[in-house]
Every structure is written in C-alpha cells, then in structure tokens.
Amino acid sequence: MSYTNFQIGEKFPLPIRQQGEGGLFQVDVNGAMFILQLAKSDIIAIEAFRTGEMELALCEEDDILFLLYRIPGIFKEGWGDAPLSFGSLAAEQRPAEKSLADGRLHLCLVDARLSILLAQREATMPAPFAAQLRRHVREAAETPLSPASFAARVQAVWQRMSPAAMREKAAAVWEIPLALKGAPLH
C-alpha cells in the first residue's frame, strides 16, 4: 500500500494500534510514518501540519527509539514523543532494509474521534536522521521486545525524562522547513 494514495477527508486506511490523542511512530514493511492524532483541530492546526515548520528528533533510551516532535501552530510550546515498537507487528509486516531505502517519512494528521485523515505530507530525512533510524530498526526488529516489556521500559523512561529532556540528548535532529503551497517536500 502506498502512503501517498491516502485521501484527505476519508477514513484513515491503516489500522492505528493506539487510539487516542498523541503521536504514533510506525516503521513497517511500507516505510516510516508519523501519525499525529488530535481530538480537536481547526484549519490553523491542519495548515500548520500540512505546510508549517516542524522539528523532529530521535533519542534512544533503554533500547527504545523515541521520535520527538515540536509543531508550532498545533502546540504552543514543548515537545511530544512517540516511541517506536515492533512487538505487535506480524512477521510479514516488520521492516526490512528496503523499507527505509527511499529515506522518506510520511506524516499524517488524523482526527482521533472519527479516524479521518485531515492532512498529510512527506519529507526526505536528512542522512544522519535516516542513518540513526535504520540502525535502530536493524537492531530492534531482529529481536523485538514483547508488548509488556516495551510498555514497562517506556514508562520507566517517562518517569525519568520529559520529552524536552530527551530532545536535549537526541542523537539526530531534523528541522523541516515551511513548505510553499503546492511545492513537494524533498
């Protein structure tokens, strides 16, 4: 399934493993995707996601990779985080080396209540960001943590560190610039 064939205003076509507000970071056989679910959104939030500046970062703690995100226009300040897990993926859905070969991250804004795709964009990861993601995926996908072990480790990290503290320790940072209307993000 191609992430670029999703239709704005239609039901989000993939199953979302965690319902509710917040960010989800998924890497599977189709590539890398960041899904931001919001219960309340307006045209300003939709446009901020679709064309606005974003800052993303990767931080690895206790063998968990966290995608950290800051999106002005949606969040007034601060950072959010989305841990990456492979434990609930079926073997045929787990990422392979070719899953990340194109170096793109698909970004989707979804209405958390109705599961409707509100906005999407795609951007090519800078080399250090892509290399960090590929390294983690290669190591973690071979021996994924069980869902219970993953949850316990994530909770332990959250008790020790805020997303802002993780951002300070990030191994890779990516500033996605403002996208001109109609211009592709590459």
Structure tokens at 120: 């999407």
User: pLDDT tens, 157-171?
Assistant: 999 999 999 999 999
> What does R_g of the chain's alpha carbons equal in angstroms?
16
Indicate the helix (H) or strand (E) that contains 126.
none
Query: Above pLDDT 70, what percent of the chain?
Result: 90
Of 109, 98, 27, the closest CA to residue 74 belongs to 109
User: pLDDT tens, 87-134?
Assistant: 667 777 778 778 788 899 999 999 988 889 999 999 999 999 999 999
The span from the CA of 106 to the CA of 99, in Å, is 12
Check residue 18 and give its pLDDT. Answer: 67
Check residue 183 and give its pLDDT. Answer: 47
Report the mean per-residue pLDDT for the chain. Answer: 86
